[in-house]
Structure 1
Amino acid sequence: MSAYDDLMAFQKETEALGQVMGRLGWDQETMMPRGAAPQRAEEMAALEGVLHARRTDPRIGDWLSEAHAPDEVGKAQLRLITRSYERASKVPADLAQRLAKLTSASQGIWAEARADEDVAAFLPTLKEVVALKREEGAALAAGGDVYDAMLQDYEPGASAESLSAMFAALRPRLTTLRDEVMASEQPADLDFDFDEGKQMKLTRKLAKAFGYDMSHGRVDKAVHPFSSGSGQDVRITTRTSPRDPFNCLYSTVHEVGHACYEQGISKEYLLTPLGNGVSMGVHESQSRIYENQLGRSKPFCGWLYGQMRDTFGDFGVADEDAFYRTVNKLRQGFIRTEADEVQYNLHVLLRFDLERALISGDLAVDDLEAAWNDRFASDFDFEVDKPSNGVLQDVHWSVGLFGYFATYSLGNVYAGCLNEAMRADLPNLDEALAQGDPTSATEWLNEALQRHGGLREPRATIAHACSGVDPSEERLLMYLEDKFSKF
């Protein structure tokens, strides 16, 4: 066998073990007994030790120096393996294991603190997480910017400077649009009890409509909806609320966007570095375009209104137009995942700025809740009422995902670009959506983007799907201003 063949065989086993690690995480958030948390932390740490040893195995360096890629796909494989090897080699093995153990345990501590509305119970653990992440970031940065080094785990090629410039362009126009729309009367909140079993039945129907392959996936419940896995085993979670069915339905469509990306990657890339989504920003572009530009579009809402009437009976919304406005209404809200399209990015920008300050040391963990509450009041003009609606609402910091939040807004920007290109190619898309059939859109996304996996770098992936047009926030802003100016 050649050096390239040896390297790819070794990498396949590493990728398989990584999938096992992901399955442990999925189980922890869905089915694991609460009392198993300490043992699970040990299990995660042990497996992380095995993975770190493989990712830094000296033979990888030898193989890379000798390997000759057979084609463009092979060159992309070597590029990603080189990046992973160089990054992993900068992080000491004991630090990687300590982080895996701590963040596994921290997730349970955060969940309990959130349920008890007790920030103080979580802060000591968060301090440990921040300290270890700073240590890891410093090792990765090797003298450079620590936060930029963290970003590379989620969006290779991104920088805090470039993201800050993008977000600075988004903020004023989003704020202006929000104020203009909310100055007009918004639809009333739903006043109906939606059976949670029926919600789950309808949400699985939606998942299948958007192309989710249930023979290689499943839908479960979790506190925080997420997607997990790739290739032949891609699982999603959602959550239900008897007074808010949209939480369940649109969380599902969102996670299906993630899952279909993973399921749609070329089978030739299975258990290789190319066999995963290329970045979290590109991943988020899929979940957001499924959820918003398709799922919250006027024609699809017309179809969904009929499905809800069939499922729940008369739930107090008069017609399709009223339903469309209800689905897309702007309202004051605390929760990022439940925010409307206009205000969603304002929630993300808050987190981006706070976590940068935490990592740089400009913000102490003890002052995080006050900083969150002050910034929230400034951005949204009302006060946080309880920690689960504020600093404790997201799981990300408890599991060490610093640098992740920015990719949510970046994904929205990418989705705006993809939507423009897709609609140019699919002039009859709205007619299909009105029948509850997004197949032409999901097939377009698969052909233009999903099937390629990690073949190209993130921005190049979007540009390729958009016929060479470089991604820009302008297309998202134009889409939002056009849609909501009509309300």
Structure 2
Amino acid sequence: MSVDTAYTELMEFQRQTEALAQVMGRLSWDQETVMPRGATAQRAEEMAALEGVLHGRRSDPRLAEWLELAMPEDDEAASQLRLIRRMHDRATKVPSRLAQEIARVTSAAQGIWAEARAADDVSMFLPTLSEVVRLKREEAAALAAGRDRYDALIDDYEPGVTAAAVSALFDRMRPRLVALREAVLGAAFQPPPLSGHFGLEAQVRMARDLAATFGYDWSRGRMDMAVHPFSSGSGCDVRITTRVVETDPFNCFYSTIHEVGHACYELGIDPDYALTPLGAGASMGVHESQSRIYENQIGRSRAFTGWLFGRMTERFGDFGVADAEAFYATANRVQSGYIRTEADEVHYNLHIMMRFDLERGLIRGTLEPEDLEEAWNTRFLEDFGVAVDRPSHGMLQDVHWSVGLFGYFPTYALGNIYAGCLMQAIREAVPDLDDQLARGDTSGATGWLRENLQRHGGLFTPHETVTRACGFEPSEGPLLDYLETKFGALYRL
């Protein structure tokens, strides 16, 4: 090993690690889409074994030697080293035994959660959730090394962000969001919900068309069904999932557009970064900015919903909505629903704030898993004014805690904030955007995102990624201004 060869050797080693991580991701995709139910126990062992291999590579002592000797020749190489060093530092703090056990337990937990959710039975899931929480507390303690344990987990998804910063952000956002919600729900004008029956096959065909409209590359992707929609993969293999409710096509259509946002981010990264640390999104917050801006600022805009109304009329005939303006109002209808993934833009961040507080309590030990259902139901009634009627509408609705994604939820709100800033920049750069969207042409917006944000992958830190794209420091202001303007006009406030 020498200074001259250290960077090359390091990147060759890392390329294999990245390839193996993609294989593990494909196993997860298979588990959530097509794996037979009887394979759960075996898959858990497979995931644990592969995690052991990956953890061994990420904590390999040779990485420290290469990182010490490697001399970056440009900014790209410096960023590669920054991300590999971060990965190595975190891997060396977590024992291999613990990493494998987390992989084993969370793989099995996902199936147990799905069955408990279908049965509306918290008791079926509680022992497994308790084990997941125990393991994640242990991991958080190892990573934190005396710091806040929840901060250590947030850092996995949004490097540099702390629970204190998120809490302060939410404190600033909450009054304006609550005031807007109260004004909207108390408005004289209330758009009716969509009604009727929309067949599965017709919805799936429409969802595929919408994916293509937003630039999804079907030669490098596919779409399948899942209990909880998600996107998976990077490089030349980026897959999406959706779900169908035959009385609510918006569930399918906007879940699809959301996941296409994630997928197009990965597909838009410079191909030279494939199978390197730069070949993925900068953070989950930045990732969520893409899915949320595709879904909401673009997909639920007045201009685009006007186009979508025409396409739905062609596919489904008269489905009970009078015209494009009524359809726009229905597509953006505000209501205090139970389900986060179906929440309107006004309520969505309030859902995240609740989950943030609950999961922070679980990791810090101020809330125990056996008390979670009562804590959830109490908080939901306080925040939304509606009593939870069954567990699948409450603590069992999200997949995240079953698979150990503690610290992930705040990135949804950060993604909304980033999306607000990015849309402000897009509208300045693409003055005829609404004319384009009214024709079903999203390329002005998606092309701007690809050029100014997506292609960079992990080259910059999350904050730098958004700041460079927007031309200004991200803050909650543009998002809140956008929401107040949009819903104030829509509800004739």
Shorter-chain TM-score category? over 0.9
The residue that corresponds to 1:112 in the other structure is 115
Answer yes or no: is 1:288 the counterpart of 2:274: no
Structure 2 Cα separation of the partners of residues 285 and 190 of structure 1: 27
Deviation at 1:188, TM superposition (A): 1.6
Q: 2-side partners of 1:75 and 1:191: how far apart?
A: 54
Q: Does 1:214 align with 2:215?
A: no
Taking the aligned partners of 1:315 and 1:115, their CA distance within structure 2 comes to 30
Amino acid at match of 2:287: H
Q: Which residue of 1 is the match for residue 12 of structure 2?
A: 9
- Say if 2:11 and 2:276, in contact at 8 Å, map to a contact too: yes
Residues 336 and 347, structure 2, Cα contact 8 Å, conserved in 1: no
Secondary structure of 2:224's partner? strand
SS in 2 for 1:152: helix
Count of residue pairs the alignment pairs up: 486
| 1:191-228 deviation digits (Å, cap 9, x = unpaired) | 21001100000110010010000000001110000000
Kindly provide the amino acid, as one letter, of the partner of residue 132 in structure 1. L
Q: Contact conserved, 2:195 with 2:248, CA < 8 A, in 1? A: no
Q: 2: CA distance between counterparts of 1:190 and 1:291?
A: 18
Q: Among residues 129, 132, 149, which one is paired with 2:132 in the alignment?
A: 129
Alignment of 1:7-406 (within 5 A): 7-184=10-187, 185-406=189-410
Whole-angstrom distance in 1 between the partners of 2:292 and 2:143: 30
**Residue deviations 1:283-316 (CA, integer Å, cap 9, x gap):** 0000000000000000000000000000001000
Which blocks of at least 5 consecutive residues in structure 1 are unaligned? none
Equivalent position SS for 1:252: helix
Match of 1:440 in 2: 444
1:182 is displaced (CA, Å) by 1.2
Matched to 2:308, the amino acid is L
- Paired with 1:157 and 1:9, the residues of 2 have a C-alpha distance of 28
2:483 match:
480
Of 298-307 and 166-175, more deviation after overlay is shown by: 166-175
**Letter of the 1:141 counterpart:** A
State the alpha-carbon separation in 1 of the partners of residues 220 and 380 from structure 2. 40
Deviation string 1:237-287 (CA, Å, 9 cap, x unpaired) is: 000011000000000000000000000000010000000001000000000
Q: Which of the numbers 424, 427, 434 marks the counterpart of 1:430? A: 434
CA deviations 1:50-71 (Å, max 9, x no partner) are 0000001111011001001121
Question: How far apart, CA to CA, are the structure 2 residues paired with 1:115 and 1:210?
Answer: 32
Q: Deviations over 1:349-394 (max 9, x none)?
A: 1000000011111111111000000000000001000000000000
Match of 2:453 among 446, 449, 453: 449
Mapped to 2, the partners of 1:201 and 1:186 lie a distance apart of 30
Q: Which of 194-203 and 178-187 deviates more?
A: 178-187
2:489 aligned counterpart, secondary structure: coil
Deviation at 1:161, TM superposition (A): 0.6
Q: Any stretches of 5+ residues in structure 2 without a counterpart?
A: none
Q: CA deviation at 1:451?
A: 0.1
SS at match of 2:27: helix
TM-score (norm 1): 0.99
Instruction: Give the letter for the 2:337 counterpart.
Output: G
> How far off its partner does 1:471 sit?
0.6
Moved over 4 A (4+): none
Tell me, in whole angstroms, the C-alpha distance in 1 between the residues paired with 2:116 and 2:304: 39
Aligned residue for 2:238, secondary structure, equals strand
Q: Which amino acid aligns with 1:223?
A: V
Whole-angstrom distance in 1 between the partners of 2:238 and 2:222: 7
Q: Distance in 1 between matches of 2:374 and 2:208?
A: 40
Per-residue deviation at 1:331? Answer: 1.2
**Superposition TM-score, scaled by structure 2 size:** 0.98
Distance in structure 2 (CA, Å) of the matches to 1:442 and 1:124: 44
**Shift in Å at residue 320 of structure 1?**
0.3
- Amino acid aligned to 1:60: L
Letter in 2 for 1:41: A
Q: Distance in 2 between matches of 1:287 and 1:332?
A: 22
Alpha-carbon distance between aligned partners in 1 of 2:301 and 2:159, rounded to the nearest angstrom:
31
Task: Give 3-state SS (helix, strand or coil) of 1:220's partner.
Answer: strand
AA of the residue aligned to 1:417: C
Matched residue SS, 1:228: strand
Question: What's the CA shift for 1:332?
Answer: 2.3
Following the alignment from structure 2 to structure 1, what is the Cα–Cα distance between the partners of residues 267 and 172? 34
Distance 2:195 2:285 in 1: 36
Residues 196 and 247 in structure 2, CA contact (< 8 A), matched pair in contact too? yes
- Quick one: which amino acid aligns to residue 235 of structure 1? R
CA shift, 1:328, in A, is 0.2
